[in-house]
Structure 1
Amino acid sequence: MKVEAIETLTCDAGWRNYFFLKITADNGLVGWSEYDEGFGSPGVTSVIEQLGRRLVGQRVTAHERFFQEASALTRPAPGSVIAEGIGALENALLDLKAKHLGVPCYELLGGKLRDKIRVYWSHCATWRISHPNFYKPAITGLEGVKQAGREVRERGFTALKTNMFIHDDGLPYAWRPGFAVPFQPELNVDKKVIGNVRRHLEALREGAGPDIDILVDVNFNMKSEGLLRLLRAIEDLDLFWVEVDTYNPKALAHVRQRSPHPISSCETLFGVRGFMPYLEAQAMDVGIVDTIWNGVWQSMKIAAICDAHDVNIAPHNFYGDLCTMINAQFAAAVPNLRIMECDIDRLPWESELYTHTPEFEDGYLLVPDRPGWGTEPIEEALRAHPPKVAGGLLQYKRS
Structure 2
Amino acid sequence: MKVASIETIACDAGWRNYYFVKLTTDSGIVGWSEYDEGFGSPGVGNIIDQLSKRLVGQDVRATERFHQEAICLTRPAPGSVIGQAIGALENALLDAKAKALNVPCYELLGGKLRDTIPVYWSHCPTWRINHPKYYQPQVKDLEGVRQSGAEAREKGFKALKTNLFIHDEGDAYAWRSGFAVPFSPALNVERKLIRNVMNHLEALRAGAGQDMDILIDLNFNAKPEGMLRLLRAMSDLDLYWVEIDTSNAASLAFVRSQSAHPIASCETLIGVRSFLPFLEARAMDVAIIDLVWNGALQSMKIAAACDAFDVNIAPHNFYGDLCTMMNAHFCAAVPNLRIMETDVDRIAWEGELYTHQPEYRDGALVVPDRPGWGTDPIEAALRARPPKGTGGLLQYKRAA
TM-score (norm 2): 0.99
Within-5 A mapping of 1:117-266: 117-266=117-266
SS of structure 1 residue aligned to 2:264? strand
Distance 2:373 2:190 in 1: 45
2:197 partner amino acid: V
Match in the other structure for 1:24: 24
Q: How far apart, CA to CA, are the structure 2 residues paired with 1:33 and 1:383?
A: 16
Partner of 1:114: 114
How far, CA to CA, are the matches of 2:396 and 2:62 in structure 1? 39
Query: 2:282 & 2:28 partners in 1: Cα distance?
Result: 47
Q: After the TM superposition, which residues 364-383 of structure 1 pair with which residues of structure 2 at under 5 Å, given as runs?
A: 364-383=364-383
Superposition RMSD in Å: 0.8
2:58 is matched with which residue?
58
Summarize the Cα distance change of 1:336–1:122 in structure 2 as closer, same or farther, 3 Å threshold: same
Q: Distance in 1 between matches of 2:26 and 2:384?
A: 28
Give 1:384 deviation, angstroms.
Answer: 1.5
CA distance in 1, matches of 2:388, 2:48: 20
TM-fit CA distance, 1:394: 1.1
Partner Cα separation in structure 2 for residue 379 and residue 65 of structure 1:
29
Conserved? CA contact 2:119–2:159, under 8 Å: yes
Tell me if the contact between 2:180 and 2:398 (Cα under 8 Å) persists in the aligned partners.
no
CA distance in 1, matches of 2:184, 2:119: 33
- Whether contact under 8 Å (1:125, 1:162) holds in the other structure is yes
* CA distance in 2: counterparts of 1:238 and 1:154, whole angstroms: 20
Alignment deviations for residues 139-180 of structure 1 (CA, whole Å, 9 cap, x no partner): 010000000000000000000000000001111100000000
Q: Residue 252 of structure 2 aligns to a residue in which SS?
A: helix
8 Å CA contact retained: 1:303, 1:336:
yes
Cα deviation, residue 339, structure 1: 0.2
**Could you give the per-residue CA deviations for residues 270-317 of structure 1, whole angstroms, max 9, x where no partner exists?**
111000000000000000000000000000000000000000000000
In structure 2, the partner of 1:324 is 324
Letter aligned with residue 88 of structure 1: A
2:365 partner SS: strand
% of aligned pairs identical?
A: 72
- Does the aligned pair in 2 maintain the 1:174–1:398 contact within 8 Å? no
> Unpaired runs of 5+ in structure 1?
none
Distance 1:151 1:180 in 2: 31
Residues of 2 paired with 1:348 and 1:394: CA distance? 22
CA distance in 2: counterparts of 1:356 and 1:283, whole angstroms = 38
What is the correspondence of 1:232-381 to structure 2 with a 5 Å cutoff?
A: 232-381=232-381
Equivalent pairs, count? 399
State whether residues 183 and 398 of structure 2, in contact with CA within 8 Å, keep that contact through their aligned partners in structure 1: no
**How much has 1:396 moved relative to structure 2?**
2.1
Per the TM alignment, residue 397 of structure 1 is displaced from its structure 2 partner at its CA by 4.4
Q: Distance in 1 between matches of 2:229 and 2:391?
A: 33
Aligned counterparts of 2:186 and 2:91: Cα–Cα separation in 1: 38
CA distance in 2, matches of 1:163, 1:229: 16
**Cα distance in 2 for residues equivalent to 1:209 and 1:372:** 38
- Say whether the 8 Å CA contact 1:173–1:398 is kept in structure 2: no
Q: Is the contact between residue 156 and residue 363 of structure 2 (CA under 8 Å) also seen in structure 1?
A: yes
Structure 1: distance between partners of 2:356 and 2:144: 31
Q: How does 1:72-83 map to 2 (within 5 A)?
A: 72-83=72-83
Output the TM-score relative to the length of structure 1: 0.99
- Give 2:155's aligned amino acid: R
Q: Distance in 1 between matches of 2:386 and 2:47?
A: 22
Conserved in 1, the CA contact under 8 Å of 2:217 and 2:243?
Answer: yes
State the distance in 1 between where 2:9 and 2:46 align: 12
State the shift of 1:398 in Å.
8.3
Structure 1 runs (4+) greater than 3 angstroms displaced: none
Paired position in structure 2 for 1:85: 85
Q: Match of 1:210, as an amino acid?
A: Q
Matches of 2:398 and 2:72, distance apart in 1? 41
